Structure 1
Amino acid sequence: MDDDVYRPVHRDPAPAFYGRLRVMRTTDLAPARWLAEHGPAEGDFGTVAGIAVPGFPAYARILHPASLDEHPVRWSAVAAAYGRTVAPTTRWHEVIGAEEFHRDSSVHGLPGVWDEHPWEGPTPPAIAQILLPFLTRHTRTPDDCWFGLWDGYGWLDFDGVPTFETPHRDRVLLSGPLADVASPATGNDDIWAELPDLWWPQDRAWCVGGDVDLVGTYIGGCPELIAEVLAAPGLEAHPVFPGDPVN
């Protein structure tokens, strides 16, 4: 049998900086401890609060757009083409009438409407850039923020780097200003670097949450922040509740 079949996948050593965000190598991960400080059954895996932390007065779900010829397409436009509508917890496969885990766009694309599924993973850079001014306005500490990056993204070797636990995920702690959250996705055309899954400011005024398996980004925060997110013309967002399922 070919030995290459079992050859380990090459992973680069964990960097000192992920984009411009510092990788925290200290064993004191106190800034992330509050993420787990909630009561039993709160923040369960697979719920809004399990992604964006329980305890906020309001939450929003931002849908990652589908695309047509590399241009973003709203879920509502796709749904309308199929004679359907999008509710706050609608799943993508329900929009296109597919089985839940079917991801073959060549079968389910609709000519003239969409040809690529929504991005599955943490917040896309384009959405991050739209969110930045809203998030900046609603924290006293935009230059002092924390980020959680899943240690399972395969191209970096985080073995030996301390991690903190969230529901079903271990994450590396990063630090830096909010303005640098999209920096991992810029500056290297040869590598696609995911944005952090979790973002929160030092004053804990809000939390942005995503996951490798989701086609939406979730935000918990004050009602004023969530109202701005819901009204943003560049976002397709819906109000959700902490116990709602995520997708």
Structure 2
Amino acid sequence: MTTTVLLAGLASPAQADPAATPAGDQAAIDAYVKKYDHPMGSQIREHEGTAQMPRSVPSDIGAQASVAGIDVSGHQGNVDWPAQWNAGKRFVWVKATEGTGYRNPYFAQQYNGSYNQGFIRGAYHFALPDRSSGATQANFFSSNGGGWSGDGKTLPGALDMEYNPYGATCYGLSQSAMTNWIRDFSNTYKARWNKYPAIYTSTSWWNQCVGSSFGSTNPLWVARYSSSVGTLPIGWSFYTVWQYSSTPIDQNSFNGDYSRLQVFARNSD
């Protein structure tokens, strides 16, 4: 099975945004990723710590139906998908974009390679809400690999909302302004794909910077590096995905069996 990823041109770069995606020169590609690619959860781990990160699958997961998965970014480079499959992983989110300038140079290998191996896969966007509107970033994401189709093999796009890697925790936005930004992104994505994006976040960051409910529309992907998922962010009564570890790669658990994961990937909103 092979899919084709179409990448559109970059939006106008903002401060600390890359001007172009390098091609051909491996050293330049590696430098580009190191400078501009903030992996999912990187800022949560930096601010909230990893002291309680479990060394094995948490008992909360083992006691219920679940599916194991991972997420990857440019920092993983070309991923050995057969090895991940043999390790029992069955779904993956691949970083596509950040802000309105960064595009993962390994996206095609990661997104198409996982699909060809049999994974249910999707793409995620690392938000920089102080750079441009939610609609602008949703469209940039959508035009650079973040789309969705109801083929049962494509997860909804995910919006990564976490601590600002460049400055103020909440990007200088009030809770109401952040809520409006997320709603702008979410509604724009829904209008393009007939599917609301999942929202990735931690309880601490969300309650501090957003404090609003998106539980009726957006699936929750919660980051919690502990043996239990703990208190969920304001607005959600259950999680869809739990990221519980970053060792040796970001580890995720889908809250349900494989048939529910297929339904999650297939059904429109």
Is the TM value for this pair above 0.5?
Answer: no
- Identify the structure with the greater strand proportion: 1
- Identify the structure with the greater helix proportion: 2
User: Please, what TM-score do these two structures have when normalized by structure 2?
Assistant: 0.29
User: Please, what TM-score do these two structures have when normalized by structure 1?
Assistant: 0.31
